[in-house]
Amino acid sequence: MQSFSIAELILAGFTRHYQLFQSITQQTGHAFAMQEWSAIQQLSKSRISHYDRRVDETIDRLKASLPCTKLNEPLWYQTKQDYLELLSFHPQAELAETFYNSVFCRLFHRRYFNNDFIFVETTLKDAPALPIEAEYRSYFPVVSGLKPTIKEIIKHIEFKCKFNNLDRDIKLLMKAFIRQAPNTHHKSYMMRFDILQAPFYRNKGAYIIGRVVSKSGVQPFIISVLHHLEGGLYIDALLTNSSQMRVIFGFARAYFMVETHAPSALMRFLNQLMPNKTPAELYNALGFHKQGKTEFYREFLAHLNNSDDKFAIAPGTPGMVMMVFTLPHFPYVFKVIKDNFAESKPFGRDTVLERYQLVKNHDRVGRMADTIEYSDVVIPKNRIEPCLLEQLNNTIADSMYDEGDMLVIKHLYIERRMTPLNLYLQNADQKQTEYVMRDYGLAIKEMLQANIFPGDMLLKNFGVSKHQRVIFYDYDEVQYLTNMKFRDMPKTDLTDLYCGMDEHSAAPQDVFPEQLCTFVLTNPTLRAIFEQTHPELLTANYWQQAQRDIKNKVVKHVYPYPQSQRFTHLDKIKKERREH
């Protein structure tokens, strides 16, 4: 088999992958219009495992035509060059590079993972970039006026169902722009709208994303669209605040479902709206998590090449299942499953792998950190602090091997670094403490709505993000909420219960919500705040009702923006003021 034929075969595998990926994505619009929420969840889940199946198919086709047990170096060197030629004007070239890497890396040994054979570094840096205009459409209010232009934008989005009262929504939208974005206070003939052509779907919401261009500069915005209880759609909120926009695209949320022909152009448009977001983060948010993984690894290599900080043990309480370390000047943590668990963890490595995959496939509702999973990660030994190296040898010896100056970790997870909640509280003032404890309770409630039982709810297993959101990140005890049994505490003495002297016994799946205060919130101040803000979480009935809602297919909407941003919320405030 000639090199060009191999290149064509791999590219054909990628083409099939991308066509099927977009076909799955296209179904989301219909499901949103029909309010088929479980279908959207299933479509989102199916896309995550879709990539690996297409890589396996391509490898099977290669093996049927070519002996792949040993690398023919001249053949595969030329194959990469031929593949490069095929990508010269390919609209998804960066994704096709990653697909090639996946195929090659599953066929051959790690010693060949260099730029001679794979795309460790992208070859597209010097290639002409796809114009971002391929992904958006421009509108000019000078032609027909502001309100008709907004109507035209909504019409072109093609939501496949009508709005409940679009005239009302447009009035609210225009008022919100005036209130939130003073730089857009221009005559209609002095501005332009650039709107991404496809809506962004996630869970029960759809989003219109664009920017206002005027003499004052560029104002990015996100418009949230939901289904009205009385039928039809309505605009729920306008977001112009950069921080709020970044939270919507945050690492703790499910991937968006959005159609795109030129992912790199879409990513660059979004990057112009949110400059602090990295390409890896944006590709992840768009559902191209394998490309996000590639971009992240390039960021990681660039950091190692341009810094001298050393890997060290991550701040926080040491875990009983994971060995966690970090690079001080790189905003991530590295997690490796320990060889042996504490006695209080009655499960093994396979269970941990399954639970991390459960979260990967699930709606994370903005409360569970995304993880990037890698195999055979090479770390220079001279970049590892001696005390960390000793800990690694003591805790994860079975998950790594030595290659002279390098340490190779067989399997690890990487997560965005946050401040562990227990450490954050040590230095928080009263206002900060009250805020994060309220958000801690909200995080638990929102996970319950997504059928997630976090298991170990100790404060050390939650982190505080730079946006002051409480995020859960320890998944070794995660289970589906509906698999648990929530009970009120027996009326007998607790000592008798644990001594087995009571007729009430605790099975492995039994949970007593009242014990949140007993074992998690031992600090009286924290307990008082929690009891005041979330007393219902201490009752079995609340958790049981959450289970019933899930079993009855009641899908609740988790708003990825403050309630104060909602137009319905503002209308309610105005009504209350008039009544008083």
445 and 494 co-located in one domain: yes
Task: Give the pLDDT band of residue 569 (cuts 50, 70, 90).
Answer: low
pLDDT grade, residue 541 (50/70/90)? Answer: very high
Asked if residue 331 belongs to a known ligand binding site, the reply is no
Q: State yes or no: pLDDT of 497 exceeds 80.
A: no
Count of C-beta atoms within a 10 Å radius of residue 169:
21
pLDDT at 495: 56
Q: Is residue 331 part of a domain?
A: yes
Instruction: Establish whether 395 is an annotated binding residue.
Output: no
pTM exceeding 0.75: yes
Question: Are residues 62 and 208 located together in one domain of the fold?
Answer: no
Q: Check whether residue 137 and residue 77 sit in a common domain.
A: no
pLDDT value of position 573:
45
Measured CA to CA, the distance from residue 158 to residue 416 in angstroms comes to 35
The beta-carbon contacts of 427-431 under 8 Å, at least 24 apart in sequence, are: none
What is the CB neighbour count within 10 angstroms for residue 334?
Answer: 24
CB 546 within 8 A of CB 481: yes
Shortest CA distance to 517 belongs to which of 459, 580, 432? Answer: 459
Ligand-binding annotation for 320, yes or no, is yes
The token pair at 109 is 């040994």
- Domain presence at residue 121: no
Q: Please check whether residues 8 and 70 belong to one and the same domain.
A: yes
Q: Work out whether strand 400-403 and strand 372-380 pair parallel, antiparallel, or are unpaired.
A: unpaired
Question: Which one, of 158, 147, 98, lies nearest residue 123 by Cα?
Answer: 98
pLDDT at residue 296 above 90? yes
Query: Does residue 529 share a domain with residue 473?
Result: yes
DSSP string, 517-567: IIII--SHHHHHHHHHH-GGGGSHHHHHHHHHHHHTT------SS-GGGBH
> In whole angstroms, what is the distance from residue 32 CA to residue 237 CA?
18
pLDDT digits (tens, 9 = 90+) for 463-495: 999 999 999 999 999 999 999 999 988 766 555
Is 314 labeled as ligand-binding?
yes
Q: Are residues 221 and 362 in the same domain?
A: no
More confident residue, 131 or 368: 368
Answer whether residue 124 is part of any domain.
Answer: no
Average pLDDT over residues 39-59: 93
Whether residue 136 sits in one domain with residue 271 = yes
Q: Is the pLDDT of residue 362 over 60?
A: yes
- Here the tokens at position 190 are 């002095």
Active site residue ranges:
370
Domain boundary among 394, 418, 442: 418
> What mean pLDDT comes out for the span 102-112?
92
Q: Where are the beta strands (DSSP E) in 159-274?
A: 191-196, 200-202, 205-214, 217-227, 233-239
DSSP class of 311: B
Residue ending a domain, choose from 263, 289, 315:
289
> What's the confidence (pLDDT) of residue 213?
93
Do the domain assignments include residue 126?
no
Same domain, 386 and 429: no
User: Amino acid identity, residue 181?
Assistant: A
**125, part of any domain:** no
Which residue from 412, 424, 516 is spatially nearest to 463, judged by alpha carbons? 424
Of residues 535 and 491, more confidence is placed in 535
Residue 127 inside a domain? The answer is no
Same domain, 138 and 106: no
Could you tell me where the beta strands, DSSP code E, fall in 129-216? 136-139, 191-196, 200-202, 205-214
What integer is the mean pLDDT of 270-279? 95
Q: What is the pLDDT of residues 433-463, one digit of tens each?
A: 999 999 999 999 999 999 999 998 999 999 9
Band the pLDDT of 297: cuts 50, 70, 90: very high
Residue with tokens 């970044």: 246
Helices (H), 349-399: 349-361, 386-395
Per-residue pLDDT reduced to its tens digit, 167-188? 999 999 999 988 887 766 667 7
Residue 29 labelled as part of a binding site: no
Q: Looking at residue 520, what DSSP letter applies? A: I
More confident residue, 129 or 195: 195
The label of the residue with tokens 């299933």 reads: 42
Q: Are 22 and 87 in contact (CB under 8 A)?
A: no
316 annotated to a ligand binding site: yes
For all residues of the chain together, what is the average pLDDT? 91
- Tell me the Cα Rg of the chain: 26
- In this structure, is residue 316 part of a structural domain? yes
Q: pLDDT at position 206, please?
A: 97
- Is 360 flagged in the annotation as binding? no
Annotation-wise, does 317 bind a ligand? yes
Q: Do 397 and 368 belong together in one domain?
A: yes
Please indicate, yes or no, whether residues 11 and 31 belong to a single structural domain of this protein.
yes
Domain-terminating residue out of 380, 397, 418: 418
Whether residues 472 and 530 share a domain: the answer is yes
- Token pair of 512 as six digits: 């007593």
At 464, which amino acid appears?
Answer: V
Average the pLDDT over 134-140 and give the result.
94
What's the pLDDT score for residue 570? 57
Q: What is the mean pLDDT of residues 79-94?
A: 95
| pLDDT score for 501 | 47
How far apart are alpha carbons 34 and 367 in whole angstroms?
27
Q: How far apart are CA 140 and CA 159, in angstroms?
A: 22
Contacts of 138 (CB under 8 A, 6+ apart): 192, 193, 194, 195
Domain membership flag for residue 570: no
* Dihedral Cα 294, 297, 299, 300, nearest 10 deg: 180
pLDDT at 518: 83
What Cα–Cα distance (Å) separates residue 24 from each residue in 31, 258, 291? 11, 10, 18
Domains of the chain: total: 4
Structure tokens at 55: 């890589």
Domain that holds residue 535: 422-565
